[in-house]
Structures are given as structure tokens and as C-alpha cells.
Chain A
Amino acid sequence: MAAHAHKVKRYHGLLDWLTTVDHKKIGILYLLAGGLFFLVGGLEAILIRIQLIKPMNNFVGADTFNELITMHGTTMIFLAAMPLLFALMNAVIPLQIGARDVAFPFLNALGFWTFFFGGLLLNISWFAGNVPDAGWTSYVPLASPTYNSGHGVDYYVLGLQIAGIGTLLGGVNFMATIINMRAPGMSFMRMPMFAWTIFITSALIVFAFPVLTVGLVALMFDRLFQANFFETASGGSAVLWEHVFWVFGHPEVYILILPAFGVISEVVSTFARKRLFGYSSMVFATVLIAFLGFMVWAHHMFTTGLGPVANALFSIATMLIAVPTGVKVFNWLFTLWGGSIRFTAASMFAIGFIPTFVMGGVTGVMLAVAPADYQYHDTYFVVGHFHYVIVGGLVFSIFAGLHYWWPKMFGRMLNEWIGKLTFWTFFIGFHLTFFVQHFLGLLGMPRRVWTYLPNQGFDTMNLISTIGAFLMGVATIAFLVNVVVTSAKPRNAKADAWEDGRSLEWSIPSPPPEYNFKQLPLVRGFDAWWKEKMEGHTEMTPAEPPGPIHMPSPSFLPLIMSIGLFIAGFGFMYDKLYLAIGGIAVTLFCMFLRSVFDDHGFHIEEEEQEKGVHA
């Protein structure tokens, strides 16, 4: 075997990051890029709240306000929330299932770079002076060429299309990884809960994202080639866009929240120092939520006029989702029950998540009541609801996951005191911002309005909401300070950094060597690492003898392919055919190179395996 040791060019410094196919480094890249877009989206949120701090305010113009809400929503969903989840799944999933990498390391890198350049394209709109302003749902006819003749919506369409390729690749990759690359002995029902939720989320991505792709293609053809998908005057249908968008859009909500459930399950179980209560019911609930998630899209369209039968069916289907979700909530509570709970920053975020998410779920059931929805629709009640689910659910769990897995990703423990400060400021700021929005909505304040008249009962609550938003800003800054402070400390996190780790990632050094497992572990039960520890073992039982480890080579191609698509995006937008063809040709040529030149990878010999590994 060793005779085949190929010499592979290895890069250092910045070039290493541009060419890496290592899932752990790609995870960090996702964290950096997703974090950057999170800051951009957060800044947009703060500007929105400053505009709404008092009645008849004139801090930003009405046009800018529309651009801000559109870009805030789009950025936060596609460029912050999803990449931050991809950061966690890249960092953790191969480790949790006992694999040396994902199934397709090259595609993994390609997915990151397409996401990054798609996001970049979308955000360049701020500098091009043509910002999307038709809302994150980009409803037609508002987004049609007739009513939106600038290039704003083109940035939305092409940016999301390119970023969407990355997401789809990620979904295929993680599904294949989890099906094919689990360590010996790790049956599906021995997988950690986070791995299960990522598996189901990946399936949702694979089956939901192509719908968005088609929707965006249709809108792009309408805008660029005068097609008539959504042009009612020529026989098109505006309701078709709503259907297509939400057939994608509702599973997207579960793409976001299922991984959050997974993170919370891991963190709650670790810090309650108990086996996750009702593991198999958790798995079943996850699958059921994903399944039902595909048949409730029209609850976003109750006021569209689909008729009472359709509304009733979608209403009932939506309420059904509360059942498996309730199963999950009770399982977390029963996991905590009787546990010896450690209140670390990570576990506080997880425990804070539970009541917050329940509130978001309850308003969800309220919204599912179709007749009542006529009252709530397009008011701040809806804004309150989905921020409770996405911020109170997803962002809490991302913070929980980052505090929990930070030592595994970087080899350093985040400062607990600053972490708790982050939690309290974020928790209080969050509820201040969004709790009052429910009442604003019930009082009749419509969403997406630039300003409002005084003395309608909106003034005080809007002020409170803005103060809360600033507090969340403070929490984010506290987290950034924590990151900086931590990075100055020595890299001394233990392998089992919290001492109570249960799954495989805690059985290997922090951060893990680039091949993860020197010998693939033999999994003998659920909570594999915990089981070994309870039997007095200090490491996993190996499932193979030590030997040279085969690794994939780094490559520039993913980066160049994404740049090609980025250039083609501009070509399409500004009717420069040569740019469009040139950009796509660059991408196709890279595909050609990838196909023709086999990647032999390289081997890490046994004697090199200890090099640079921190115990």
C-alpha cells in the first residue's frame, strides 16, 4: 500500500483555506462566512428597529426600509442561519458517526464556495445601488419586471440560485455520508440525535431546494427573457409563485429547526448527564415533522383565497405538527428531570430554548386556525411568531451548539462568564424585542410598514422592541469579545472537554487531527463513548488495525468553479452574453478537469500520524 504514497502539493496559510477539502476546516469557513452575514443581517435589523423606534420617524427613507427588510430576511435565512448550521454539521457529523471525512470532500468545498459567492453576489447589490426590495418572499407581481424594473430582484434571484447549488450539494453529501460512512457497529438507531436530525434535514434539502430552483428560474426567465410564468396579462399566474415559493419555503422552516432540535438534544443530555429520554420517539418525531412539513405549505396562503376546503385541510395538517413537536419538548423536559444539571453557557442556551420555542410553537398553532389567521395575517403577530421560532429556536441552539462544540472545533474553551453574559443579554433582549410584537400585531400594526402614526397604542411597545434589539446587539458583541479573548488563550481543551461527553466526537483530541480517527472506532451501543467510559475504558475499542490513512487532495477547483458562476451571474443580469457564457465555461472547464484528472489523494503514514496532534 505504502508504495502508492503519492506526492501531493500541500498548501499553507491562506492558500490552505482556499483549497481545503477537510470538513473541519470547511466547518470553520462556514462559521466565518455565516457569522459575517449574521452581522450584516443583524445590522440591517438594528437599522429597521431604529426607524421604528418612534412614530413618523425619518431615519431611513421608505425605499431603503423596503430594501432593509428584504435583505434582512434573505440574508438571515439563506446566508446566516443555514451556513451556521452547515458549520456545525461539518464540524461535528463525521466525528459523531465515526468517519474520517464526508462522502464527497470535494463537493463539500464546492458547496461552501458556491454559497459564499452567491451570498456575495446578493450583497453586492448594496454597492450597485440596486437592492432587492420585494420582501424575502419576493411575491409577484411586486417582483415582476413591470413593477420592479431595476436589477434589485435580479440580485435576489441569481444570488439565491448560486447559493442554493451549494445547499443542495451539502444535502446530497450529508445524506450519502450518514448512510454509507457510519463506523462499524453504528446502526441507524445508535446514531446521536444530532446526526439523525441532520440526516432528515439533508433529505428535506434534497427534496425542497429544487422547487426553489425552478421558482427562481421561472422568475428569472420572466425578468430576463420576457417569459410569462407570473404575468397575468399573458396568462401567467401570480398564485403559482406563492405555491412554488412555499412548497419550498415551508420545508425550509424545518430545514432550519430540525438541526436546532438535534443540538438541543445533545446539549441537554450532556449537561443533565443522562441518556436522552425517549430516543426512539425523538427519531420518530423528527421523521414525522419532516414528512408533515411537506404538506402544510398553504398555511402561508390562507388569505389568498384557496377556498374553505383547502384552508381547513391545511389548517388541520399544520396543527398535527404540534404533536411530534410536543413529543420532543416533553422528552427534553424528562431528560432534564432528575438529572444533575450543569449550568454552563451552552446548557443555559439550551434550557432557555425550551420555553421560548414552546411560545413560538403555540403562536404557530394560533396562526394555523385559518379563520383567525385572517386577523393575524401580515401583522406584527406573524413577525413575533416566526422570530420566536427562528431566533428563539434556531439562534439559541446555534449559540448553544457553538459554546458546546467550540473546544472540539478550536481546541479552546470559551470563557464561561462572558458566555453567561451573552446568554442573559440575548435572552432578555430577545423577549423584549419580540414578545411585545405579538400585541402590536393584535392591535393591528401591519408588518413591512416604514412608519406609523402616533397615538394608536403602538408607540411604547415599538420603543421597547427597539431597546431589546440593541440588547441582542450587545449580546452578539459579547460573544465576539469572547471569541477574541479565547483565541488568545492556550490551546489546551481536553479531548472530552466537558468530561460528560457521550458521543464519538469526545473520544478524539480537541481539535481532532485531520484524519479524525487513527483507527475507526467500534460502536457498541447508543451513546457509544459514554458506554465505554462507564465500563472503565479510556478510549474507544478500535475496529481496524492502525495503518496508513488515505486522504483526498486539496484543490483550487471548487473556488474557481464558484467564481465562474459568480461572473456568469453578472453576465445574465446585465445582458452581457459573453460574460454569462464565459463564466459558465470556466465552471464547466473545471468540471472537465475534475473528471479527467483522477484525484489519487495521499497517505498519512503511521509514523506521521502523531505529528502536531494535541492530546
Chain B
Amino acid sequence: MSAHEIANGQLPHEPEKATLEGRNKVLGFWLFLGAETVLFGTLFSAFLALRHNIGDGPKPSELFELPMVFAATMILLFSSLMSVFAVQAMHRNQVKPMLGWLLITIVLGLAFLGLEIYEFTNYVKEGHRMNTSAFSSSFYTLVGFHGAHVAFGVLWIGLLILQILKKGLTVVTAPKIYVSAIYWHFIDVVWVFIFTVVYLMGKVG
């Protein structure tokens, strides 16, 4: 059954997996996240190898402000929870609540990005720049890659909200919502590792 053949009929249960295209999309996206895991794994390895080489720059324990980072962590975790509610609403075929949850998701994502930008500008003022040391280079690359993923996710989910408003929830749009939610959880998980490996270990190490 191809996607548009049942697009106009009754929306099936678990619409994201109702068509072969949808199932391919979900599976392909999981595989892509496998690749993303390796990508972040390598960035983490590089960071762990270089994090003690701070050169003349500030120490991580002086630099990091845990309360703010903790706030950012909570914001992102809650945002991930909101996307769970969105997918649950989708499974109940409730389009408006789904859009509401998605909107809260990206608002929280934007708040996280705002905090991160504020944090980075502070660091630069304190002499922690891309070219300061091996620690700073690997820090900005790892955390920056994550931030870029959040930014892309915000744009993506924002675009999906507009699409749902225009096209409604169909077997074509449902897989998009579903994979964007998986993506959002993934960058949340990556952040949990960043919080632990970069910030907590930076404070105690």
C-alpha cells in the first residue's frame, strides 16, 4: 500500500507505521541515529582525550556554572517529555493537543539554545575561545555540534507544525512527527552525557 492510497480515508492506528514508506522512514531514521551515536561518540572521545590540556585558558572548574547548566538540562529534559505527549496525542488522533505539545517542545528548545548562547558568550569574555587550547577546541566542537542539532530540530519541528496545520495528520505526515520525536529524544540523551562528562566531570576533575 503506498502512502497516498489511504491518505484520504480513516487514519489507522499507529499511522506512522501504516505504510511501507512510513516503516522505511522510521527504520531508516533509527539507523541514521546509529550513525549519529558514533558521531557523538567520536566527539566525546576527542574531548576526553584533550580535556586536561587547558593551556593558558581558564580551568573548567572555574569556568562552568552548574546552576545554569542544570537549568538548561531540565529545560531540555522537559522538552523531550513534551514531545512524548505530542506523539501520544498523535496516536489518539488529537491534532490540536499534538500541535500544542509540539509548540511547547520547540519553545523549550529555543530557551535551551538561548541559555547556551548566553553561556558561550560569557566563556568567550573569560578568555575561553575556540583557539585557546585543545580543551576549548574540543569543548566548543562537542557542545556546539549538539547545539547545532538542537537548532536544526527546532527549525524542523517548527516546519512540521506548519505542515500539519496545512495538510492535517495523515499517513504521510505522521511518520515525520514520529521521527522528529525520536530525533528530539536522541539529542536529549546526548545532552545528558554532555552534562555528565563535560560539566560534572569538569567540576570535580
Contacts and interface: CB of A to CB of B under 8 A. Distances in A.
A172 B28 contact: yes
A237 B163 contact: no
A210 B42 contact: yes
B131 A225 contact: yes
Given A209-B35, A226-B130, A217 B55 contact: no
Interface in A180-236: 180-181, 206-211, 213-215, 217-218, 221-222, 225-229, 231, 234-236
Interface stretch (A280-288, A420-428, A593-601): A593-601
B172 interface: yes
A211 B37 CA distance: 10
B204 to A, nearest CB: 20
A214 B49 contact: no
Report the contact-size class of chain A (Cβ under 8 Å from the partner).
35 or more
Residue from the set B38, B55, B167 with the largest chain A CB neighbour count within 10 Å: B38
Interface string B23-43: 110011001101110110011
Nearest to A211: B42
B134 A229 contact: yes
B59 interface: no
B172 A598 contact: yes
A218 B35 contact: no
B38 A210 contact: yes
Contacts of B13: none
A576 interface: no
A240 B49 contact: yes
Interface in A94-122: 103-104
B137 A176 contact: no
Contacts of A215: 42
A234 B34 contact: no
A244 B131 contact: no
Nearest to B134: A235
Given A237-B50, A600-B4, A218 B28 contact: no
Contacts of B167: 598
Contact of A180 (B24, B35, B46, B140): B24
B133 interface: yes
B141 interface: yes
B185 to A, nearest CB: 19
Contacts of A231: 134
Nearest to B159: A595
A104 B24 CA distance: 8
B22 to A, nearest CB: 11
Contact of A172 (B3, B23, B32, B132): B32
A235 B141 contact: no
A4 interface: yes
Contacts of B121: none
Given A172-B32, A226-B131, A180 B2 contact: no
Contacts of A550: 2
Contact of B5 (A1, A221, A235): A1
A598 B36 CA distance: 26
A175 interface: yes
A179 B34 CA distance: 15
B38 A240 contact: no
Nearest to A247: B42
Interface string A154-188: 00000000000000100111011001110000000
A147 interface: no
Interface in B167-199: 167, 172, 176
B20 interface: yes
A240 B53 CA distance: 13
A378 B134 CA distance: 29
A180 B130 contact: no
B138 interface: yes
A215 B132 CA distance: 20
Contacts of B42: 210-211, 214-215, 244, 247
Contacts of B36: 210
B135 interface: yes
A225 B131 CA distance: 7
Contacts of A173: 28
A235 B135 contact: yes
Given A210-B38, A213-B39, A234-B55, A240 B28 contact: no
Given A234-B133, A235-B134, A237-B49, A103 B24 contact: yes
27 contacts: A4-B5, A103-B24, A103-B27, A171-B31, A176-B31, A180-B20, A180-B24, A207-B38, A208-B38, A209-B35, A211-B38, A218-B46, A221-B130, A221-B141, A222-B137, A225-B131, A229-B134, A229-B137, A234-B53, A234-B55, A234-B134, A235-B134, A235-B135, A236-B53, A237-B49, A244-B45, A601-B2
Interface of A: 1, 4, 103-104, 168, 171-173, 175-176, 179-181, 206-211, 213-215, 217-218, 221-222, 225-229, 231, 234-237, 240, 244, 247, 550, 592, 595-596, 598, 600-601
The 9 closest A-B pairs by CB, nearest first: A235-B53, A235-B134, A227-B137, A210-B39, A226-B131, A214-B42, A103-B24, A176-B28, A210-B38
Interface of B: 2-5, 20, 23-24, 27-28, 31-32, 34-36, 38-39, 42-43, 45-46, 49-50, 53-55, 130-138, 140-141, 159-160, 163, 167, 172, 176
Given A207-B34, A210-B36, 6 more contacts: A103-B28, A168-B35, A211-B39, A218-B141, A235-B133, A595-B159
